Copies of this chain bind each other. A is one copy, B any other.
Amino acid sequence: MAETKKSNLQLVAAKAGVSVSSVSRVLNGGSASEELARKVREAADELGYVPHASARTMRTGRTDQITLAVADVGNPVYVQMMRTVTGIVAKAGYRLVVSSTGADPQSQIDLLASLNRGYADGLLMSPLRITEDLVEAMRSSRLPIVVIGTLPADVALDNVRADSATGIGLAVEHLVAQGRRRIALVNGPVDTVPGSARLAGYLSAIERFGLTTSAELQVTASAFTYKAGRKATAALLGQSSPDAIIGANDLLGVAALKELAAAGRRVPEDVAVVGMDDTDAAELATPSLTSVDLGSAKRAKAAAKLLIRRIAEPGAPVSRIVIPPALSVRESTGGPA
Interface residues of A (CB under 8 A from B): 2-6, 48, 50-55, 57-58, 63, 65, 73-74, 79, 82-83, 86, 95-100, 113-114, 116-119, 140-142, 226, 254, 257-258, 261-262, 280-281, 283-287, 337
Contact = CB atoms under 8 A, between A and B. Distances in A.
Contact of A53 (B83, B118, B254, B286): B118
Nearest to A5: B142
A117 B51 contact: yes
Contact of A117 (B50, B98, B113, B118): B50
Nearest to A67: B97
Contact of A281 (B95, B140, B284, B337): B284
A116 B58 contact: no
11 contacts: A3-B140, A50-B113, A50-B117, A54-B118, A55-B58, A73-B83, A95-B119, A96-B99, A97-B97, A257-B286, A284-B284
Given A54-B57, A262-B337, A283-B226, A74 B63 contact: no
Nearest to A267: B286
Return the 8 tightest CB-CB contacts between A and B, nearest first: A286-B286, A98-B98, A54-B54, A54-B57, A53-B117, A4-B140, A54-B58, A53-B118
Nearest to A76: B74
Contact of A52 (B55, B86, B117): B117
A334 B178 CA distance: 35
Contacts of A63: 54
Copies in the complex: 2
B283 A285 contact: no
A98 B95 contact: no
Contacts of A5: 142
Contacts of A287: 286
Contacts of A100: 82-83, 86, 96, 98
Given A6-B142, A54-B54, A286-B287, 16 more contacts: A4-B142, A52-B117, A52-B118, A53-B117, A53-B119, A54-B58, A73-B73, A74-B83, A95-B99, A96-B99, A226-B280, A226-B283, A226-B284, A257-B286, A281-B284, A284-B284
Contact of A284 (B51, B57, B141, B285): B285
Most buried by B among A4, A48, A113: A4
Contacts of A3: 140
A247 to B, nearest CB: 13
Contacts of A96: 99-100
A253 to B, nearest CB: 11
A56 to B, nearest CB: 8
Nearest to A143: B4
A107 to B, nearest CB: 10
Nearest to A53: B117
A318 B3 CA distance: 22
Contacts of A98: 73, 97-100
A86 B54 CA distance: 23
Contacts of A51: 117
A272 to B, nearest CB: 16
A280 B74 contact: yes
Nearest to A55: B58
Contacts of A52: 58, 117-118
